[in-house]
Amino acid sequence: METATHQSEEDILIQGLKSGNEADFQKAVRLYTPGMMAVGRYYLDNASAEETVQDCWVSVIDAIQNFEGRSGLKTWLHRIVANRAKNHLRKNKREVSADFSEALEPELANRFHPNGRWATPPSLRFDEDAESLMENGALSDCLDQHLTRLPETQRSALMLYEAHQHKSDDVCNILDVSASNLRVLLHRARQKIFLMVETFQETGEC
């Protein structure tokens, strides 16, 4: 039921974009730019990513005519950004670097006895659900800061997978990583967020 409504809303928006309706473009820009920036930032610095996302929106005016809806609009837009960003990288002969070798965050790896048992077990208590926790402005700000400080590769993977609810295959495709490397990026990012919330609960500080 929910997906059906969602689907038709997207269809209406696509129709509006195809007919060049400015208000529909404004709506789509607000809806999809955060995800597109997450893709862009995986490959590029902030200024180049913004430039790429801007160019993408202008190119969408024509490209949308050929959009057949086999993938969702979001995935289609994310692929356009990824392709452009990769071209940009090639031109500037840069590469994305990330460490895929270790699944454990060093800060967490320190918390085990040599025999592999917990020496400093997790102390976090979650008595409230995520929605009500986020009403705590200080925690929300702290999460913002830590998300900003994550390595781009980890942050983009986390954003596309969690916040934009892409399937693993889509994320691998958009970010050009293998399935196992995506698992490492996600796991490392989640551990950092866990460590942050734990510190925040223990000390009340970010």
Binding residues for another protein, rule: CB under 8 A, are 20, 22, 25-26, 29-30, 33-34, 37, 50, 53-54, 57-58, 61, 103-104, 108-109, 112, 115-118, 121-122, 124, 126, 129-131, 133-134, 140, 143-144, 147, 158-159, 162-163, 168, 183, 186-187, 190-191, 193-194, 197-198
CB of 93 to another protein, least distance (A): 26
Q: Which amino acid is at 197?
A: V
Q: Which amino acid is at 7?
A: Q
Nearer to another protein, 82 or 164 (CB): 164
d(C-alpha 120, C-alpha 17), whole Å: 54
Nearer to another protein, 73 or 143 (CB): 143
Nearer to another protein, 93 or 123 (CB): 123
d(C-alpha 191, C-alpha 95), whole Å: 25
Closest by alpha carbon to 162, among 145, 187, 141?
187
57 by DSSP, 3-state: which?
Answer: helix
Q: What is the Cα Rg of the chain in Å? A: 20
CB of 88 to another protein, least distance (A): 17
d(C-alpha 174, C-alpha 27), whole Å: 23
Nearer to another protein, 45 or 90 (CB): 45
